[in-house]
Amino acid sequence: MSPGTSIAADLLTPEHRYQLWLNLTKKNKCEPPQFTMQWAEEVPVIEHNDGGRTVVTLIAGEYGGKKALPPPVASYASDPESDLAIWLLEMEAGAKVTLPATKKDATKRMLYVHGDGARVRVGADTVDSEHGFEPTQNAELPVVAETPSKILLLQAVEIDEPVVIKGPFVMNAPEEIDQAYRDYKATHFGWDEVWKTQSPVYPRDQGRFANFGDGKKVYPPKQ
């Protein structure tokens, strides 16, 4: 197989990606921006083997006695009252796992199932690929994979504040949206001062790194 054919094959490989946005409480919406990098090599992973292998990637919250990497200070994920969790479960066919109960009665939880032919049993219910499941109770939740499956679990206590959205901005009132646009037009939120361009390009051989915009760069851990 020629290199060109190999590249083409890679480009045609289907991918399934998530882009998750966490809202901020009103008191934190105008906090100075903060960026944290979560290298895959450092993200906690918990494994179970009951009827098959289950791998739980801990993106936010706590699971199995482990905590996720620290989120930004002003993030809703940093608020212990949020009961916020983001877990990715990868299960072999026949694998079983019991998800812990939520810490608060007000917590809302959603499980999103995906994978080619994926099917899981959540308690007495069956959930197929590309479908979500919202438990009616916050008790322990037994999950059984009938086929190889991936499950994205999202949970949190609702912020319960007004939401107004326009473009990339999410605020609590229309006048706050207007102010956000004025601030961006006036300052670009400091982008011009840090990068001098809105489309920075780095050498191909640069490797993976995170640029915090203040001169600080961090690199993934050495393997």
Strand ranges (E), 25-103 = 45-49, 53-60, 62-63, 66-67, 85-91, 96-99
Residue 150 or 11, more confident: 150
**Quick one: average pLDDT of 68-93?**
96
Find which of 87-96, 162-171, 197-206 is predicted with most confidence, using mean pLDDT.
87-96
Residue 58 CA to residue 196 CA, distance in Å, equals 36
Q: Domain limits of the chain?
A: 24-157, 164-217
Please give the distance of CA 11 from its chain centroid, rounded to a whole number: 24
Residue 150 CA to residue 129 CA, distance in Å, equals 9
Residue 212 CA to residue 189 CA, distance in Å, equals 14
The encoded tokens of residue 54 equal 């289950």
CB 138, CB 105: distance < 8 Å: yes
Model confidence band, residue 11 (pLDDT cutoffs 50, 70, 90): low
Residue 219 CA to residue 206 CA, distance in Å, equals 11
Name the DSSP class of 160: -
Q: Which amino acid is at 159?
A: I
**pLDDT tens across 116-156, in order?**
999 999 999 999 999 999 998 899 999 999 999 999 999 99
Q: Which of 145, 125, 146 is nearest to 135 (CA)?
A: 125
Upper half-sphere CA count for residue 220 (Cβ side, 13 Å): 11
- CATH says 24-157 is which class? mainly beta
**pLDDT tens across 176-212, in order?**
999 999 988 888 777 666 667 777 788 888 888 888 8
